[in-house]
């Protein structure tokens, strides 16, 4: 599942809609490469709302590697033991 958060102060409705549209399109095309059964939340930053689509997609392309790293770190920690 995908959640997209774009605060109203991030810009005009056109900018917010464009960001959401680009993120949804990325996940539609590349979602199969992400770990399944996971909820994803993408939060827009104000400074990023006008960036070209290629820049945004490049940053989203780094997501699978980051998620795998986090999954490995969590898997290596024993459950029920405070960190």
Tokens of 32: 């199969």
Write down the pTM of the prediction.
0.69
Can you give the pLDDT at residue 1? 81
pLDDT along the chain (83 residues), means of 10: 86 87 87 76 73 81 76 73 60
Can you give the pLDDT at residue 82? 63
Tokens of 5: 């958060």
Beta strands per DSSP E along 1-83: 2-5, 40-43
62: helix, strand or coil: coil
End-to-end alpha carbon distance in the chain: 29
19, burial (CB in 10 Å: exposed 0-12, middle 13-18, buried 19+): buried
């Amino acid at each position: 599942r995908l959640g997209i958060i774009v605060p109203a102060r991030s810009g005009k409705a056109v900018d917010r809609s464009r960001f959401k549209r680009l993120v949804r399109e990325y996940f539609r095309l590349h979602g199969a490469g992400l770990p399944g059964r996971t909820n994803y939340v993408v939060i827009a930053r104000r400074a990023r709302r006008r960036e070209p689509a290629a820049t945004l997609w490049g940053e989203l392309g780094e997501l699978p590697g980051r998620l795998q790293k986090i999954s490995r770190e969590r898997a290596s920690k024993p459950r029920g033991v405070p960190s």
